Amino acid sequence: MTEQISKNDTLFARAQKTTPGGVNSPVRAFRSVGGTPRFITRAEGPYFWDADGKRYIDYIGSWGPAIVGHAHPEVVKAVQEAAARGLSFGAPTEAEVEMAEEICRLVPSIEQVRLVSSGTEATMSALRLARGATGRDKIIKFEGCYHGHADSLLVKAGSGLLTFGNPTSAGVPEDFVKHTLVLDYNNVSQVEDAFESMGDTIACVIVEPVAGNMNLVKASPEFLQALRDLCTRHGAILIFDEVMCGFRVALGGAQELYDIQPDLTALGKVIGGGLPVAAFGGSAELMHNMAPLGAVYQAGTLSGNPVAVAAGMTTLKLIQQPGFYARLAAQSARLAAGLTEAAKEAGITFCADSVGGMFGLYFSEDVPASYAEMMAGDRAMFNAFFHGMLDEGVYFAPAAFEAGFVSAQHDDAVIDETIAAARRVFAKLA
Ligand code: PMP
């Protein structure tokens, strides 16, 4: 066993010499759970393998994109064929037109869309568009929602009603975030009060309609409807950040699930199928504010990259197979129910929730509805559970604050293997 983990340890030691913390995105480090990150050598279907050749059932799916399973043969083939035709042109392609048409067809609130390369770019650009179109500066975001790492969105959660936020990150000047108002998720009256006192200065409200960056926390339908109504009444733009939940909770995203149309939508993850594609879109009228038609500037050397678009388009085709989302939702629900039952048998305080292909695991009595409720969960128990499952060959997100993802390749056998492993782990933790 000692020998088995040695390659991950060796690589981690090497990585830390040339890369801060040894990782290229902080969530990959095992900072909150402790231990050595696994270095992945290959992935297939619901599995990936680490540098020691150990197989894991993967419940991260690259943090969302791998919805059809890893290395799906059709996606890989499309990527290989596109790559052979050239990697990047810096001029438009027919594939980009098709991808835009497909997104507009699948997401009814989107009439025009711009492709970018990361979720951060999508939300950052949507925000700039909202400000440019309204001529207003203030934005509302919610505690616990993550919208990428643009300066004005990196605001520390925890600010109270009508308190302007502080940057969570060093290097973000106070001046940059003085227009960012942070309110409590699922709290309608706070948003009403904010609009009441400063409605004519608020450019937009940005929200994860199904929050997946504070574990999984669903918005209440009343909350999203209130955001819709308040934005309409006060001439503010409602932005749904569906980078994570888009094409994940339903084919038409959270806006289909809740039947609420935002003015702008940010997309990412699934629409790239594992390669860098993200997008933002809305009504043609609003999108006409973008350069080269309008005064809001945004651009990208690799935007609409042909290889990435090939992966994305093929993934978008695969998720439209009949019954795809019903199956995905059933598998997430099976996992959530099975884990809950296993914890109950062991007498461990635990609950779980799921929506579409997303799930949340909570070491608390009840499913949380806010950041504060989510933070109240037992982190030590989560960490012990995480490592127990890792030993069993099941890879959950290495932090108690992240949602989990199921792919179409997580069949009954894979889910049941996970639950059996959890039963052994819970028994040890009890
Ligand atoms: N918005 C949401 C809701 C996200 O989950 C993420 C990434 N986890 C982002 C934006 C940023 O996307 P990216 O990491 O591609 O920049």
Q: 42 in helix, strand or coil?
A: strand
pLDDT, one tens digit per residue, over 92-115 is 999 999 999 999 999 999 999 999
The total of structural domains in the chain comes to 2
Ligand 1 atom with the shortest distance to the CA of 208: 3
CATH number assigned to the domain comprising residue 26: 3.90.1150.10
Measure Cα distances from 17 to 6, 35, 114, 201, 337 in Å.
17, 17, 38, 47, 43
Examine the domain organization and report whether 181 and 312 are in the same domain: yes
The region of weakest confidence among 143-152, 157-166, 378-387 is 157-166
186 and 294 belong to one structural domain? yes
| Ligand 1 centroid distance, CA of 420 (Å) | 32
Structure tokens that stand for 193 in this block: 């009060």
Cα of 228 from ligand 1 centre, angstroms = 22
CA distance 281 to 115: 9
One domain for residues 297 and 254: yes
ipTM given for this complex: 0.99
Q: Give the mutation target among 120, 121, 125, 141 for probing the ligand 1 site: most ligand atoms within 8 A of CB.
A: 120
Q: Are residues 197 and 278 in the same domain?
A: yes
Distance of alpha carbon 70 from alpha carbon 76, whole angstroms: 9
Tokens standing for residue 406: 């199921």
248 and 99 within one domain: yes
Per the residue annotation, which of 269, 325, 362, 395 is the catalytic one? 269
Structural domain range at position 273: 73-318
Residue 297 is a catalytic residue: no
Compute the distance from residue 348 Cα to the ligand 1 centre, in Å. 32
Co-location of 59 and 141 in the same domain: no
* pLDDT score of 155: 77
Provide the 3-class DSSP secondary structure of residue 309.
Answer: helix
Q: Which atom of ligand 1 is nearest to the CA of 212?
A: 5
Q: For 346-393, how does the pLDDT look when each residue is reduced to its tens digit (9 = 90+)?
A: 999 999 999 999 999 999 999 999 998 988 899 999 999 999 999 999
Are residues 253 and 385 both part of a single domain?
no
> Where among 279, 297, 318 does a domain terminate?
318
Based on the fold, state whether residues 295 and 349 are members of the same structural domain: no
Pairwise CA distance, residues 137 & 423, whole Å: 51
14-27, pLDDT tens digit by residue?
A: 999 999 999 999 88
Question: What region, left, alpha or beta, does residue 171 occupy, with left being phi > 0 and alpha being psi -120 to 50 degrees?
Answer: left
CATH assignment at residue 150: 3.40.640.10
- Do 371 and 408 lie in one domain? The reply is yes
Candidates 50, 58, 184, 241; catalytic one: 241
pTM: 0.96
Q: Which atom of ligand 1 is closest in space to residue 123's alpha carbon?
A: 10
Ligand 1 mean position to 345 CA, how many Å? 36
Q: Give the whole-number percent of the chain exceeding pLDDT 70.
A: 96
Query: 259 an active-site residue?
Result: no
Q: Tell me: the pLDDT tens digits for 27-74?
A: 899 988 999 999 999 999 999 999 999 999 999 999 999 999 999 999
pLDDT one-digit tens code per residue, 228-238? 999 999 999 99
Q: Residues near ligand 1 with C-beta < 6 Å? A: 63, 118-120, 123, 146-148, 208, 212-213, 241, 243-244, 268, 278
Average pLDDT of the residues in 151-165: 53
* Residue to substitute in 145, 153, 243, 277 for testing ligand 1 pocket (most ligand atoms within 8 angstroms of CB): 243
99 with 209, same domain: the answer is yes
Q: What is the DSSP letter of 3?
A: H
pLDDT at 164: 43
Final residue in a domain of this structure, among 275, 300, 318: 318
Q: Which residues of 54-75 are buried (b: 16+ CB within 10 A; e: fewer)?
A: bebbbbbbbbbbbbbbbbbeeb
* 317 catalytic residue (yes or no): no
